[in-house]
Amino acid sequence: MKKSKLINTQLSLAIARLGHGQALTIGDCGLPISEKTQRIDLALTHGVPGFMETLDVVLTEQQVEEVVIAEELATVSPALFEQLTARIAQLEQDQDRDVTLTMVSHETFKTLSDESLAVVRTGECTPYANIILRSGVVF
């Protein structure tokens, strides 16, 4: 049995498959997911699992060099935006390297998420609670 926090087989495999520059998207329950992109559906009901708790577990496994979010998050869901930016700052300390924060329109975000290796669907219902995590390297 794995020792790390992440025990979901599909999600663990998706992260293990990521190469440098490839992306994993974590989305709220309303984010459209392309038929061509692997869907990892964790949603049980509204709010379960939540966006931040899912992100926190993923970040225990994935090396991240860039984070992409919709610029609308800052104005529509400012509390989540603040949580997220604090978590990115903590991630930089944990990884001992910078993490680029890229903000794009929600429409651009949806297009970029289609290019992800996989999209993780959570039960989150907070508007614009979506993130693309572009992988870095551990060396």
| Catalytic site positions | 20
Please state, in angstroms and rounded to a whole number, the distance separating the CA atoms of residues 110 and 117. Answer: 14
131: alpha, beta or left? (left if phi > 0; alpha if psi -120 to 50): beta
For 93, what's the count of Cα atoms within 13 Å in the CB-facing half-sphere? 6
Nearest partner of 68 among 132, 138, 139, judged by Cα = 132
CB 40 within 8 A of CB 119: yes
User: Kind of pairing, strands 131-135 and 23-27?
Assistant: antiparallel
Q: Tell me which amino acid residue 80 is.
A: L
Please state, in angstroms and rounded to a whole number, the distance separating the CA atoms of residues 94 and 88. Answer: 10
